[in-house]
Amino acid sequence: MIRKILIANRGEIAVRIIRACADMGIRSVAIYSEADRFSLHVKKADEAFSLGSDPLAGYLNVHRIVNLAASTGCDAIHPGYGFLSENPELAAACARRGITFIGPSADVIKRMGDKTEARDAMKAAGLPVTPGSDGNLENIEEALELAEELGYPVMLKATSGGGGRGIRRCDTAEELQRNYQRVISEATKAFGRADIFLEKCIVDPRHIEVQVLADHYGNAIHLYERDCSIQRRNQKLIEIAPSPQLDEAQRQYLGGLAVLAAKAVGYTNAGTVEFLLDADGRFYFMEMNTRVQVEHTITETITGVDIVEEQIRVAAGLALRFEQHEIVHQGFAIQFRVNAEDPKNGFLPSFGRISRYYAPGGPGVRTDAAIYTGYTVPPYYDSMLAKVIVWAQEWEDAINRGERALRDMGLQGIKTTIPYYLEILHHPQFRSGEFNTGFVEAHPELTQFSQKLSPEDLALVLAAATAAHTGL
Of 110, 205, 224, 228, which Cα lies nearest the Cα of 159?
Answer: 110
CA–CA separation, 70 vs 205, rounded Å?
46
Segment holding 47, helix H or strand E: strand 47-50
CA–CA separation, 260 vs 221, rounded Å?
10
Whether residue 291 lies in the annotated active site: yes
Catalytic residue among 16, 168, 206, 291: 291
Supply the DSSP symbol for 35: G
N- to C-terminal Cα separation, the chain: 58
> Amino acid identity, residue 372?
Y
Give the largest Cα separation in the chain, rounded: 76
SS3 at position 368? strand
CA–CA separation, 260 vs 253, rounded Å?
11
Of 382, 225, 237, which Cα lies nearest the Cα of 299?
Answer: 225
CA–CA separation, 246 vs 228, rounded Å?
13
Q: Within a 13 Å sphere around the CA of 299, how many CA atoms are in the beta-carbon half?
A: 27
CA–CA separation, 79 vs 169, rounded Å?
31
Of 386, 382, 398, 404, which Cα lies nearest the Cα of 431?
Answer: 398
Bridge-partner residues for 210, per DSSP? Answer: 225, 273
**Active site members:** 291
